[in-house]
Structure 1
Amino acid sequence: MIHQYDEPVYLISVVAKILDIHPQTLRQYERENLICPSRSGGRIRMYSQRDIDKIKLILRLTRELGVNLAGVDIILRLKDNVDDMETEIAQLRHELQKSRNAHSVSPDKALVTKKSIYEMIIFED
Protein backbone atom coordinates (compact mmCIF):
# COMPACT_ATOMS: atom_id res chain seq x y z
CA MET A 1 0.00 0.00 0.00
CA ILE A 2 1.37 3.39 -0.99
CA HIS A 3 0.75 6.35 1.31
CA GLN A 4 0.68 10.04 0.51
CA TYR A 5 3.63 12.20 1.58
CA ASP A 6 1.52 14.05 4.17
CA GLU A 7 -0.47 11.05 5.36
CA PRO A 8 0.19 10.30 9.07
CA VAL A 9 0.89 6.57 9.22
CA TYR A 10 3.94 6.01 11.46
CA LEU A 11 3.84 5.54 15.23
CA ILE A 12 6.44 7.26 17.40
CA SER A 13 8.19 3.95 18.08
CA VAL A 14 8.50 3.23 14.35
CA VAL A 15 9.88 6.71 13.60
CA ALA A 16 12.35 6.43 16.48
CA LYS A 17 13.54 3.10 15.14
CA ILE A 18 13.78 4.35 11.53
CA LEU A 19 15.84 7.36 12.60
CA ASP A 20 17.75 5.56 15.35
CA ILE A 21 16.77 8.06 18.03
CA HIS A 22 14.96 7.83 21.35
CA PRO A 23 11.21 8.55 21.39
CA GLN A 24 11.90 11.21 24.05
CA THR A 25 13.89 13.11 21.41
CA LEU A 26 10.79 13.25 19.24
CA ARG A 27 8.71 14.39 22.20
CA GLN A 28 11.29 17.11 22.92
CA TYR A 29 11.13 18.31 19.30
CA GLU A 30 7.37 18.50 19.66
CA ARG A 31 7.63 20.46 22.94
CA GLU A 32 9.98 22.89 21.17
CA ASN A 33 7.38 23.24 18.36
CA LEU A 34 9.88 21.99 15.78
CA ILE A 35 7.50 19.25 14.66
CA CYS A 36 3.78 18.80 15.02
CA PRO A 37 2.72 15.20 14.43
CA SER A 38 -0.93 14.37 13.89
CA ARG A 39 -2.89 12.67 16.63
CA SER A 40 -5.20 9.71 16.29
CA GLY A 41 -8.57 9.52 18.03
CA GLY A 42 -6.79 7.99 21.03
CA ARG A 43 -4.25 10.86 21.09
CA ILE A 44 -1.48 8.64 19.68
CA ARG A 45 1.19 10.55 17.75
CA MET A 46 1.17 9.71 14.05
CA TYR A 47 3.96 10.85 11.75
CA SER A 48 3.94 11.33 7.97
CA GLN A 49 6.85 10.99 5.59
CA ARG A 50 7.01 14.82 5.54
CA ASP A 51 7.44 14.77 9.34
CA ILE A 52 10.22 12.18 9.04
CA ASP A 53 12.03 14.27 6.43
CA LYS A 54 11.76 17.33 8.68
CA ILE A 55 13.15 15.35 11.62
CA LYS A 56 16.04 14.21 9.41
CA LEU A 57 16.80 17.86 8.67
CA ILE A 58 16.66 18.69 12.40
CA LEU A 59 19.02 15.82 13.17
CA ARG A 60 21.43 16.95 10.47
CA LEU A 61 21.42 20.52 11.76
CA THR A 62 22.00 19.46 15.36
CA ARG A 63 24.38 16.54 14.88
CA GLU A 64 26.44 17.49 11.86
CA LEU A 65 26.34 21.28 12.02
CA GLY A 66 26.14 21.76 15.79
CA VAL A 67 23.07 24.00 15.73
CA ASN A 68 21.11 24.18 18.99
CA LEU A 69 17.33 23.80 19.02
CA ALA A 70 16.71 27.56 19.15
CA GLY A 71 18.85 27.92 16.03
CA VAL A 72 17.02 25.03 14.38
CA ASP A 73 13.73 26.82 15.06
CA ILE A 74 15.01 29.98 13.37
CA ILE A 75 16.38 28.02 10.41
CA LEU A 76 13.12 26.13 9.93
CA ARG A 77 11.08 29.33 10.08
CA LEU A 78 13.36 31.00 7.52
CA LYS A 79 13.15 27.91 5.31
CA ASP A 80 9.35 28.02 5.49
CA ASN A 81 9.40 31.73 4.57
CA VAL A 82 11.69 31.08 1.60
CA ASP A 83 9.49 28.18 0.46
CA ASP A 84 6.39 30.39 0.70
CA MET A 85 8.10 33.16 -1.28
CA GLU A 86 9.26 30.72 -3.96
CA THR A 87 5.69 29.43 -4.29
CA GLU A 88 4.38 32.98 -4.56
CA ILE A 89 6.99 33.88 -7.18
CA ALA A 90 6.07 30.79 -9.21
CA GLN A 91 2.38 31.77 -9.04
CA LEU A 92 3.16 35.35 -10.08
CA ARG A 93 5.29 34.13 -12.98
CA HIS A 94 2.46 31.87 -14.06
CA GLU A 95 -0.04 34.75 -13.87
CA LEU A 96 2.33 37.00 -15.82
CA GLN A 97 2.80 34.39 -18.53
CA LYS A 98 -0.94 33.84 -18.63
CA SER A 99 -1.61 37.56 -19.08
CA ARG A 100 1.07 37.79 -21.79
CA ASN A 101 -0.53 34.89 -23.65
CA ALA A 102 -4.01 36.42 -23.30
CA HIS A 103 -3.32 39.32 -25.69
CA SER A 104 -5.74 39.12 -28.60
CA VAL A 105 -3.95 41.92 -30.40
CA SER A 106 -0.22 41.75 -30.78
CA PRO A 107 1.62 44.54 -28.97
CA ASP A 108 2.90 46.07 -32.25
CA LYS A 109 -0.69 46.44 -33.53
CA ALA A 110 -2.12 47.86 -30.34
CA LEU A 111 -4.22 51.02 -30.52
CA VAL A 112 -2.20 52.80 -27.90
CA THR A 113 1.18 53.93 -29.10
CA LYS A 114 4.09 54.92 -27.00
CA LYS A 115 5.08 58.54 -27.09
CA SER A 116 8.44 59.94 -26.35
CA ILE A 117 8.90 60.75 -22.72
CA TYR A 118 10.50 64.02 -23.71
CA GLU A 119 8.33 67.00 -24.53
CA MET A 120 9.71 70.41 -25.30
CA ILE A 121 8.14 73.46 -23.88
CA ILE A 122 9.56 76.76 -25.06
CA PHE A 123 8.87 79.82 -22.97
CA GLU A 124 9.18 83.21 -24.52
CA ASP A 125 10.20 86.26 -22.53
Structure 2
Amino acid sequence: MQLPDGVSPSDPIFPIAAASELSGMHPQTLRQYDRIGLVVPGRTRGGSRRYSAIDIAQLREVQRLSAEGVPLAVIQRMLDLENEVQALRDEVRTLASELREERATRPGARVFATNAAGGVVTLTGTTRIRRQTDVVLWRPPRQD
Protein backbone atom coordinates (compact mmCIF):
# COMPACT_ATOMS: atom_id res chain seq x y z
CA MET A 1 0.00 0.00 0.00
CA GLN A 2 1.51 3.32 -1.11
CA LEU A 3 1.26 6.02 1.54
CA PRO A 4 1.71 9.77 1.05
CA ASP A 5 5.05 11.35 1.94
CA GLY A 6 5.40 11.96 5.65
CA VAL A 7 2.89 9.26 6.63
CA SER A 8 4.29 6.18 8.33
CA PRO A 9 2.65 2.74 8.18
CA SER A 10 1.76 3.05 11.87
CA ASP A 11 -0.09 6.38 11.53
CA PRO A 12 -3.84 5.88 12.14
CA ILE A 13 -5.35 7.64 9.13
CA PHE A 14 -8.08 5.41 7.65
CA PRO A 15 -11.68 5.71 8.89
CA ILE A 16 -13.62 2.49 9.33
CA ALA A 17 -15.31 2.76 5.90
CA ALA A 18 -11.92 2.98 4.14
CA ALA A 19 -10.45 0.22 6.32
CA SER A 20 -13.44 -1.96 5.51
CA GLU A 21 -12.93 -1.45 1.80
CA LEU A 22 -9.15 -1.92 1.93
CA SER A 23 -9.39 -5.08 4.01
CA GLY A 24 -12.39 -6.54 2.21
CA MET A 25 -14.28 -6.96 5.49
CA HIS A 26 -17.62 -5.63 6.68
CA PRO A 27 -17.40 -2.64 9.06
CA GLN A 28 -19.26 -4.63 11.71
CA THR A 29 -16.55 -7.31 11.56
CA LEU A 30 -13.93 -4.61 12.15
CA ARG A 31 -15.91 -3.33 15.14
CA GLN A 32 -16.14 -6.87 16.53
CA TYR A 33 -12.39 -7.42 16.10
CA ASP A 34 -11.80 -4.14 17.93
CA ARG A 35 -14.11 -5.20 20.80
CA ILE A 36 -12.32 -8.53 21.29
CA GLY A 37 -8.88 -6.91 20.95
CA LEU A 38 -7.87 -8.69 17.76
CA VAL A 39 -7.03 -5.58 15.71
CA VAL A 40 -7.38 -2.41 17.78
CA PRO A 41 -7.30 0.83 15.77
CA GLY A 42 -6.34 4.25 17.03
CA ARG A 43 -9.05 6.69 18.07
CA THR A 44 -9.69 10.33 17.29
CA ARG A 45 -10.51 12.77 20.08
CA GLY A 46 -14.16 12.19 19.26
CA GLY A 47 -13.75 8.42 19.61
CA SER A 48 -13.91 7.47 15.93
CA ARG A 49 -11.78 4.54 14.85
CA ARG A 50 -8.75 5.25 12.66
CA TYR A 51 -6.81 2.38 11.14
CA SER A 52 -3.16 2.42 10.10
CA ALA A 53 -1.63 0.62 7.12
CA ILE A 54 -0.27 -1.92 9.62
CA ASP A 55 -3.81 -2.47 10.96
CA ILE A 56 -5.07 -3.02 7.40
CA ALA A 57 -2.33 -5.59 6.77
CA GLN A 58 -3.25 -7.35 10.02
CA LEU A 59 -6.92 -7.39 9.04
CA ARG A 60 -6.03 -8.97 5.71
CA GLU A 61 -3.93 -11.59 7.53
CA VAL A 62 -6.80 -12.29 9.96
CA GLN A 63 -9.14 -12.75 7.01
CA ARG A 64 -6.71 -15.12 5.27
CA LEU A 65 -6.07 -17.22 8.36
CA SER A 66 -9.73 -17.28 9.31
CA ALA A 67 -10.63 -18.51 5.81
CA GLU A 68 -8.13 -21.35 6.34
CA GLY A 69 -9.98 -22.36 9.50
CA VAL A 70 -7.57 -20.97 12.10
CA PRO A 71 -9.48 -20.08 15.30
CA LEU A 72 -9.56 -16.40 16.30
CA ALA A 73 -7.82 -17.17 19.61
CA VAL A 74 -4.86 -18.63 17.71
CA ILE A 75 -4.84 -15.69 15.29
CA GLN A 76 -4.82 -13.34 18.31
CA ARG A 77 -1.78 -15.09 19.76
CA MET A 78 0.00 -14.97 16.40
CA LEU A 79 -0.66 -11.23 16.06
CA ASP A 80 0.49 -10.63 19.64
CA LEU A 81 3.74 -12.46 18.94
CA GLU A 82 4.27 -10.58 15.66
CA ASN A 83 3.69 -7.27 17.46
CA GLU A 84 6.13 -8.28 20.19
CA VAL A 85 8.77 -9.22 17.61
CA GLN A 86 8.28 -5.87 15.86
CA ALA A 87 8.60 -3.98 19.15
CA LEU A 88 11.81 -5.87 19.92
CA ARG A 89 13.18 -5.11 16.44
CA ASP A 90 12.40 -1.43 16.96
CA GLU A 91 14.17 -1.51 20.32
CA VAL A 92 17.23 -3.20 18.80
CA ARG A 93 17.31 -0.55 16.05
CA THR A 94 17.14 2.21 18.66
CA LEU A 95 19.85 0.64 20.81
CA ALA A 96 22.09 0.05 17.80
CA SER A 97 21.66 3.68 16.78
CA GLU A 98 22.50 4.87 20.30
CA LEU A 99 25.57 2.64 20.34
CA ARG A 100 26.74 3.97 16.96
CA GLU A 101 26.25 7.50 18.25
CA GLU A 102 28.19 6.74 21.45
CA ARG A 103 31.03 5.18 19.49
CA ALA A 104 31.16 8.15 17.15
CA THR A 105 31.35 10.68 19.99
CA ARG A 106 33.81 8.65 22.07
CA PRO A 107 36.03 6.68 19.68
CA GLY A 108 37.98 3.97 21.46
CA ALA A 109 36.19 4.55 24.75
CA ARG A 110 34.39 1.79 26.54
CA VAL A 111 30.69 2.18 27.20
CA PHE A 112 30.57 -0.53 29.87
CA ALA A 113 32.73 -3.19 31.46
CA THR A 114 32.15 -6.21 33.60
CA ASN A 115 33.17 -6.75 37.18
CA ALA A 116 34.79 -9.92 38.54
CA ALA A 117 31.38 -11.49 39.15
CA GLY A 118 30.32 -10.89 35.54
CA GLY A 119 27.99 -7.96 36.31
CA VAL A 120 27.80 -4.95 34.03
CA VAL A 121 29.50 -1.77 35.24
CA THR A 122 28.50 1.43 33.47
CA LEU A 123 31.46 3.70 32.79
CA THR A 124 31.42 7.45 32.81
CA GLY A 125 33.94 9.51 30.91
CA THR A 126 36.30 9.67 33.91
CA THR A 127 35.91 6.12 35.27
CA ARG A 128 39.06 4.06 35.23
CA ILE A 129 38.89 0.33 35.73
CA ARG A 130 41.51 -2.05 37.01
CA ARG A 131 42.33 -4.42 34.22
CA GLN A 132 42.05 -8.11 34.89
CA THR A 133 44.19 -10.69 33.18
CA ASP A 134 41.57 -13.42 33.51
CA VAL A 135 39.76 -14.52 30.39
CA VAL A 136 36.16 -15.53 30.86
CA LEU A 137 34.32 -17.38 28.12
CA TRP A 138 30.57 -16.97 28.18
CA ARG A 139 28.29 -19.32 26.34
CA PRO A 140 24.51 -18.97 26.20
CA PRO A 141 22.62 -21.64 28.11
CA ARG A 142 21.53 -24.61 26.01
CA GLN A 143 17.93 -24.60 24.90
CA ASP A 144 17.03 -28.29 25.05
TM-score (norm 1): 0.65
Counterpart for residue 103 of structure 1: 108
Show the 5 A alignment for 1:1-125.
Answer: 2=4, 3-63=7-67, 65-91=68-94, 95=99, 102-103=107-108, 114=133
Whole-Å Cα distance in 1 between the matches of residues 17 and 64 of structure 2?
Answer: 20
Residues 114 and 85 of structure 1: CA distance in aligned 2, closer, same or farther (over 3 Å)? same
Residues 91 and 10 of structure 1: CA distance in aligned 2, closer, same or farther (over 3 Å)? closer
SS at match of 2:37: coil
Residues 68 and 113 of structure 1: CA distance in aligned 2, closer, same or farther (over 3 Å)? closer
By how many angstroms is 1:18 displaced?
A: 2.0
Q: Which runs of 5+ in 2 are unaligned?
A: 110-130, 137-144
Residues 4 and 113 of structure 1: CA distance in aligned 2, closer, same or farther (over 3 Å)? closer
Whole-Å Cα distance in 1 between the matches of residues 41 and 135 of structure 2?
Answer: 61
Aligned length: 111
Residues 7 and 86 of structure 1: CA distance in aligned 2, closer, same or farther (over 3 Å)? closer
Overall identity of the aligned pairs, in %: 29
Q: Indicate the structure whose relative CO is greater, using CA pairs within 8 Å and at least 6 residues apart.
A: 1
Residues 20 and 70 of structure 1: CA distance in aligned 2, closer, same or farther (over 3 Å)? same
SS at match of 1:46: strand
Deviations 1:21-61 (A, max 9, x none): 11111011101101221222332212121211221222222
By how many angstroms is 1:91 displaced?
A: 5.0
Higher helix residue share: 1
Whole-Å Cα distance in 2 between the matches of residues 88 and 22 of structure 1?
Answer: 35
TM-score (norm 2): 0.58
Counterpart for residue 117 of structure 2: none
Q: Which runs of 5+ in 1 are unaligned?
A: 105-111, 118-125
